[in-house]
Structure 1
Amino acid sequence: MKILVELPTWLGDAVMTTPALEHLYTAYPDAKITLVGSFVSTEALKAHPRITRVVVDTTKTKGWRPLNVYRLAKRLGPHDLAIGFRSHVYSRLLLGLTGTKKRFLFDKNRLTVPPSRHAIHQVEKYAAFIDTVTGRRQPPGPLRLDWPKKTFSRPTLGINPGATYGSAKRWYPEKFADVAVALADRYDIVVFGGPGERDIATDIERTIEEKGVENVVNLAGETSIPELCSAIAGLDLFITGDSGPMHIAAAYRIPTVAIFGPTRYQETSQWMNEKSTIVRHDLECAPCMKRTCPLKHHACMKEIAPREVIEAANRLIRNETV
């Protein structure tokens, strides 16, 4: 049996599909699995032993997208089952053009929130979707990534200031620096970030060094996705915004302080990571789910003080060392 799986575009969303994918693999233990999706999504998940083939979707990058989708579909070819975790029109087109007769597409609006709950986590939505495919209903397990853990020579704190979704999700570089300085006597500091976050990471590195801390390394834009996963997996403590790396840390159960502002923490928090906590302020305007602050004050992030994050980190540290 051949199964085609189209992954979500964003790194964090892709990681949140992994419990659902485990349900799929269990239901079809002998199937050959092809992953198709963005470069970051496929890179993160391709190390799983059940994956047979990986194809990167570049249909948006150059040329007429419908034609590119057609060509990609013909390259993928027909499967016995095609599953799309995206609800985009091009996802429907892609799966249909492969010639696969049995197709399922994720519908983000299909699940309703039970009266007893405030929200459904994205992991649960993905798992429920796959359960409609397999006909088996079971609660989702933990996140899973299969890249090996990096070994650091000393206890290490990771700082992740970026957020691909938009500037509204980002805490401030000088505040990240204050937190790192406060913890530098116990940890070496590693600053993470993507290629587009080098400036933010450099600002943090410079500020930390100006305050007399030398045990800091800036890896922003310097790691591949597998290297990023491995490095985060080897951390002793991680401080981050709501981002893909936050979900990577959750997959490895790394002690994590996550700073939330405009996004729905109940839907995208660190799934099944008991060693994690959230710092957020309960404002009337949050969560607005906007990429930039529509009110221009960014209070949901600006009002979070370094002291709050340091205290949250210390609580995690105490629990880890007791």
Structure 2
Amino acid sequence: MQASVSNMKILIILPNWLGDAIMATPAIELLALKYPNAQFTFVGSYVSIEALKHHPLCERAIVDETKKAPSRFMATYRLAKELGTFHLAVSFRNQIYSTLLLRFTNTVICCARASWHSRLLLSHTPKIRTNQHLVEQYTQIAMANVDNFTQEIPPLKLYIKAKSFEKPTLGINAGATYGSAKRWYPERFGEVAAYFSKQYDIIIFGGPNEIEMAQEIEDNLKALHVNNYTNLAGKTNIEELCANIGGCSLFITNDSGPMHVAAAYKVPTVAIFGPTKYKETSQWKNEKSIIVRHELECSPCMKRECPLKHHDCMKGITASEVIEAVKKLEI
């Protein structure tokens, strides 16, 4: 199908997780550069849609709820027919129903990571090395139908306006939705926040399932006689979360979705990594970013909970290490 430049309709299936969706934004920006008058339709999870629907070229943003249907196959077919046909379709999800969704739209040029189902049903299915940054992997998917692609990959990009705070603000994010193994300890976050409380007002971030953890940090701050903090855990939607993180002067976080939000706004960040592959999911092109991690024989295990029950990859990281890392940022 030959597309006119004026109405290049592009379907994009977003990753499910907030951080992964944000790591797909450089690939989306490259598509926007290649097709300046593109009309994007985003399909994804609630969190990925809420974060990315503000893109100026986004014409439609649809939360994929086919998983809830009695027959996901039929629900996927119906969603595809509702969407219609596109000039180009890209899936950042390596999942059979995403492949089927692309196929059912009758779009000719469909790009997705190589798998048994994508190779069978779609036109462009590059085999992509997984030992490179996820941003690079997503870019190779999006550019699969572009010959000899050599363009530099841009930074992460969110179109939600950052909040403006009156005083320098330190954001603390102790959560990590993936699992407990990725989480450093609330009392140590509290210790670090208390250390910098004379220089910064403090915001404690967290999702609806992290309220208890955030309360622990708050209790630690109170015990250390710190009172210039705000606890926003469970109190923000995705747009508010991004806006608040974007306004921070400094961010201290686990490997998590909010970590990538901070990277999109170039917020100076110290990121604490334990069981995850830091070379694949670290902050992308954030110049003022430092990773604190310990090299262990058992890491990265990529498990949700420590399979050896000792959690040494996180337990060994002290508050003083994180404080020293902040000092090295030269903010």
Scaled by the length of structure 2, the TM-score of the pair is 0.91
Match of residue 135 from structure 2: 123
**CA distance in structure 1 between the aligned counterparts of 2:297 and 2:106, rounded to whole angstroms:** 48
| Secondary structure of 1:208 counterpart | helix
Q: Which moved more, 1:64-73 or 1:264-273?
A: 64-73
Which residue, out of 102, 113, 127, partners 1:110?
Answer: 127
Q: Displacement of 1:159 after TM fit?
A: 0.3
Residues 161 and 171, structure 1, Cα contact 8 Å, conserved in 2: yes
Identity %: 55
Which residue, out of 48, 55, 63, partners 1:48?
Answer: 55
Which residue, out of 22, 33, 58, partners 2:29?
Answer: 22
Residues 73 and 98, structure 1, Cα contact 8 Å, conserved in 2: yes
Q: Displacement of 1:10 after TM fit?
A: 0.6
**CA distance in structure 2 between the aligned counterparts of 1:97 and 1:125, rounded to whole angstroms:** 25
- Code of the residue aligned with 1:110 in structure 2: it is K
Which residue, out of 144, 159, 176, partners 1:132?
Answer: 144
- Code of the residue aligned with 2:93 in structure 1: it is R
Which residue, out of 76, 87, 90, partners 2:94?
Answer: 87
**CA distance in structure 2 between the aligned counterparts of 1:283 and 1:9, rounded to whole angstroms:** 29
Match of residue 297 from structure 2: 284
Q: Displacement of 1:147 after TM fit?
A: 0.8
Structure 1 residue 175 and structure 2 residue 188: aligned?
A: yes
Residues 170 and 241, structure 1, Cα contact 8 Å, conserved in 2: yes
Q: Displacement of 1:62 after TM fit?
A: 4.8
Call closer, same or farther: CA 1:303–1:91 in 2, change over 3 Å.
Answer: same
Counterparts of 1:1-322 in structure 2, within 5 Å, are 1-107=8-114, 110-112=127-129, 119-135=131-147, 136-316=149-329, 319-320=330-331
| Secondary structure of 2:252 counterpart | strand
**CA distance in structure 1 between the aligned counterparts of 2:215 and 2:71, rounded to whole angstroms:** 37
Scaled by the length of structure 1, the TM-score of the pair is 0.93
User: Which contiguous aligned blocks of 4+ residues in structure 1 show a shift greater than 6 angstroms?
Assistant: none
**CA distance in structure 1 between the aligned counterparts of 2:217 and 2:74, rounded to whole angstroms:** 43
**CA distance in structure 1 between the aligned counterparts of 2:269 and 2:68, rounded to whole angstroms:** 34
**CA distance in structure 2 between the aligned counterparts of 1:16 and 1:124, rounded to whole angstroms:** 9
Q: Displacement of 1:237 after TM fit?
A: 0.4
Call closer, same or farther: CA 1:220–1:142 in 2, change over 3 Å.
Answer: same
Q: Which moved more, 1:102-111 or 1:28-37?
A: 102-111
Call closer, same or farther: CA 1:312–1:28 in 2, change over 3 Å.
Answer: same
Structure 1 vs Structure 2 CA RMSD:
1.5
Match of residue 3 from structure 2: none
- Code of the residue aligned with 1:308 in structure 2: it is E
Deviations 1:221-259 (A, max 9, x none): 111111111111110100000001101111111000000
Gaps of 5+ in 2: 1-7, 116-125
Match of residue 116 from structure 1: none
